[in-house]
Amino acid sequence: MRRWIIIALAAAAVLASCSSTGASDPNFPAFVYSSSSSLEGYRIAVRMPEVLEKMPCYCGCGKTNNHHSLKECFIKPDGSYDDHASGCDVCVKEAVDVDNWHRQGKSLAEVRRLLDAKYRDYGQPTDTAPVE
């Protein structure tokens, strides 16, 4: 029995370490919590909106939702949250990639180039201005 308790505690510790904590989360609306990846995406958007603003989104939302950058998939121009990214894997995957490349110390121009190269086959990008 004791062995099972230890295994359960170890599994809980691994799971806890796998998922970042929400101790500093702002008061997100409920739709943000639809999945683990959605929550991660909105956390990134809140942490680095000025970076996502410079990145295009390739999910097709430029046409369907009139978005102009990846930031608008998460945060509307008026500052409220957009529920679009909570149901869109592409937006979340792009945000995670941007976050990873940014953490690796790449410049905005490099991040943009990498994003364009990886997602250009996905569809029409938003009309985000090029990074100078």
Partner 1 sequence: MDLLRLAPLRQFLRSRWYPTSFQVLTVGFLGLLLAFAFLGPDRGGRNLATVVTWTLWWPLLPISLVLLGRAWCAICPLAAIASVAQRLAPPVRQRVPPLVRRNGIWVMAFAFAGLTWIDRVSGITSAPRTTGIVLSLLLVGAVGASLAFQRRVWCRYLCPLGALSGLYAMAAPLALRPRRAECHQCAGKDCYNGSARASGCPLLEFPGNLDSNRNCNLCAQCLKACPAGTPAAPGAMELRLRMPGTELASLRHPLVGEAALALLMVALVYIQTVDMTAAWPQYMKWLLESSPAMGYALAFTGTLALTLLATLGTYAAAARLARGPGESTSQSFAAYGYAYLPIALAGHLGHNLSHLLYEGPRAVQTTLDELRIPLALVPPMDEGAAMTGINWPALLVVSLGIAGAVLTVWRVAGSRGQPLRRAWPHLALVGLWSLVYLTVFLLPMNPRHSH
| Binding footprint of partner 1 on the chain (CB under 8 A) | 12, 15-16, 18-23, 25, 28, 30-37, 39, 59-60, 64, 84, 86-90, 121-122
Pick the closer one to partner 1 by CB: 89 or 127: 89
3-class SS string, the chain: CHHHHHHHHHHHHHHHHHCCCCCCCCCCCHHHHHCHHHHHHHHHHHHCHHHHCCCCCCCCHHHHCCCCCCHHHHECCCCCECCHHHHCHHHHHHHHHHHHHHHCCCCHHHHHHHHHHHHCCCCCCCCCCCCC
In the bound state with partner 1, the residue whose beta carbon lies nearer, of 59 and 95, is 59
Q: Could you tell me the smallest distance in angstroms from the CB atom of residue 8 to partner 1?
A: 9
In the complex with partner 1, which residue's Cβ is closer, 28 or 76?
28
- Shortest distance in whole angstroms from residue 132 CB to partner 1: 29
* Minimum distance, C-beta of residue 61 to partner 1, in the bound complex (Å): 9
